[in-house]
Amino acid sequence: MAKNLFHFFHKDGASLSLGSIAALGSARYASETGVEVEVFVFGSAQKMLTATDTDGPVRTFNDNIDQLVESGVRVSACINAAEATGTDETLAGRGIILENAKDVYARCAIDGTNIITF
pLDDT digits (tens, 9 = 90+) for 68-78: 999 999 999 99
Mean pLDDT, rounded, for 77-106:
98
With cut-offs at 50, 70 and 90, classify the pLDDT of residue 54.
Answer: confident
**Residue 85 to residue 74: CA distance in whole angstroms:** 22
Instruction: Give the strands of the sheet with 114-117, arranged side by side.
Output: 97-99, 74-78, 35-41, 2-8, 114-117
Between 1 and 87, the more confident residue is 87
Please provide the average confidence, as pLDDT, over all residues in the chain: 96
* Residue 2 pLDDT grade (very low, low, confident, very high; cuts 50, 70, 90): very high
Task: Calculate the alpha carbon distances from 84 to 43, 49, 55, 67 in Å.
Answer: 12, 14, 27, 26
Statement: 2-117 belongs to CATH 3.40.1260.10: yes
Q: Sign of the CA dihedral 96, 109, 4, 13?
A: positive
Output the pLDDT for position 66. 98
Q: What percent of the chain has pLDDT over 90?
A: 96
Q: What is the pLDDT of residue 72?
A: 98
Is the pLDDT reported for residue 55 higher than 90? no
1: pLDDT strictly greater than 90: no
